[in-house]
Each structure stands twice: as C-alpha cells, then as structure tokens.
Amino acid sequence: MINIRNHGEIEIIRTNALMVTATLTEVAKFLKPGITTASINKMADEFIHDNGGKPSFKGYHGFPYALCISVNEVVVHGFPSEYILKDGDIVSVDCGFYRDGYHGDHAYTFAIGDVKQETLKLLRVTKESLFLGIAQAAANNRVGDISYAIENYANRIHGYGVVRELVGHGVGRELHEEPQVPNFGFRGSGKRLQAGTVIAIEPMVNLGTKDVYTLEDGWTVVTADGKPSAHFEHTVVVRKGKGEALSSFTPIEAAEQVNGELNSSYYAQPALV
C-alpha cells in the first residue's frame, strides 16, 4: 500500500526531515581528523533527544546506534566505532528523526581534508544524481523515471557503479514504506507516482564496481573492490511538475564551508536542482 499524505502530515514530516538536517549540520560542525565515529554518534544521539525526538534507526530491526556512519568503502549501515577519522576520508552519515508519529530520513557524505580529486568528483556526481532524481518525482510519472535519471547520470554518463541491492523507499509513519525506489531502471516502468506520496530518494554510487557485500555484523555493506562509495539522501514529496525536497542541504553546506577541516569543493550545480 502506498500512502498519500495530507498537508498536515507532510508538514510534520517536513519538520522532522529538517531536524535531520539540523542534526547533520551539527555533524558538519563537529567533524575533523582525530575524532572517532562513535563520538559523532554520541553527539547526534544527544542532539536528537535534546530536541524532543527519537533516533529512527536506534533499535530498528536491532540496529544499535542513532546514526549509520559509513567511511570510505563502506556504502551504508556502517556501525559507529572507535575508528579515528583521518585526513582524506569520506564519511557518509545517515540519520532518522522520529516525533509526533512520523519519521524524517536524510543522508550526506562529507569529505575530510585533502580528499583525492577522483573521489570528490564521485561525491559531486552522486549529489547531482539525487537532484536529477528529485526532479522526476512528479505526479503521474513512474518510479522508473526517478531510477533512470539517477542511473543514466551516474553510470551511463560518468561510468560509476550504481548499487542495486539497496534502494530508496516510502517514508512516513514507518521508516520504510512502499514504494521501493531503486537507483537503476527504465523510464516509464514501475508504480505510478501520486501527489502527496513521500519517499526517500537515496543514490548509493561507487567509484568502481556496483557490486557490494555485507560484513559478518549483518549490517555493514561495503564495495566489493574496496573503492570509495558516496551516499546522499533527501526526504521528498511528490508534487505536480517535480518533487519537493522536505530536507535541505543548504545549512549543511554552509557548516562545511565554515569548518576548515572539511573539503566542500564538490557542490552540485544549481542548474541541476
């Protein structure tokens, strides 16, 4: 069943999605070489609770942390740990915020210090592919139109591996709802989109192969060739004409520019938004 949300529901989801934005903005201020990923999780967990929410991920099917923190070749679902961040790392931070019966879900990949240019390009292209997908989240389009826009840009134009085992999804009262939103597919295929449907669009794009595998912890997904992976995500409502992101990268990017430990040279071009 695909849920169609009314104005009031959408505004609650928007508020929660923007609280995820606020959390990721705090992460952007906090990140630097020499800190552990566990310390990022602790800070964010406290921030979410201090703002009257609950971390959507904590306890979800047994996941034990507030954040998924995925470094370098980790695609998604990385466990916060005593790993110490270093100059040149990229760090995907995925976060959910639950309050008033609804979830917001949103992710961003950060570049710490002197990151290789080929990896910075991967981040830029992945972010741009997200905005191209959002533009296709229009009423009367089909899910495959989103999928095709992402895969065409990231894979056919730029040659990156687009992960197939993990997909976007509906989001609302449940963290994961219908429809599934793959990052690969064909125009005109899949379920028809209706105005008011809220989805999480989240391209996961690898520098090398599209192939991935899951570690023994049952959660952490890594690239099969050990090359870096990027992940960007927005909570999006289907609208007439094009989708509307309910979360925002703007304050996160502003915090990146202020934090001299981060490399913010991979922004998406406004023309693609």
Q: Are 143 and 190 in contact, with CB atoms under 8 Å apart?
A: yes
State the pLDDT at residue 197.
Answer: 98
**Topology of the domain comprising 7-265:** Creatine Amidinohydrolase (3.90.230)
Give the tens place of pLDDT for each residue, 206-228: 999 999 999 999 999 999 999 99
45 — phi, psi (to 5°)?
Answer: -60, -45
pLDDT of residue 265: 85
pLDDT of 272 above 80: no
Specify which residues 149 forms β-bridges with. Answer: none
As a whole number of angstroms, the distance between CA 167 and CA 206 comes to 14
Determine the angle formed by the axes of helices 117-135 and 143-151, rounding to 10 degrees. 160
Beta-bridged to residue 103, according to DSSP, are: 98
Name the average pLDDT for the chain. Answer: 96
pLDDT in tens, 231-240: 999 999 999 9
Selected residue with higher pLDDT from 21 and 267: 21
The answer on pLDDT for 41 being more than 70 is yes
Beta pairing partners, 186 = none
pLDDT at site 268: 56
User: How are strands ordered across the β-sheet holding 168-170?
Assistant: 177-181, 168-170, 198-201, 234-237, 244-245
Banded model confidence at residue 269, pLDDT cuts 50, 70, 90: low
High-pLDDT (> 90) share of the chain, %: 96
Longest dimension (CA), the chain: 48
pLDDT, tens digit (0-9, with 9 covering 90-100), for 142-166 = 999 999 999 999 999 999 999 999 9
Decide if 33 contacts 83 (C-beta within 8 A). no
Residue 28 has a CB neighbour count (10 Å cut-off) of 23
pLDDT digits (tens, 9 = 90+) for 139-148: 999 999 999 9
Q: Amino acid letter at 103?
A: H
* Ranges of each domain in the chain: 7-265
Query: What's the rounded Cα separation, in Å, for the pair 190 and 50?
Result: 40
CA gap 235, 169 in Å, rounded: 10
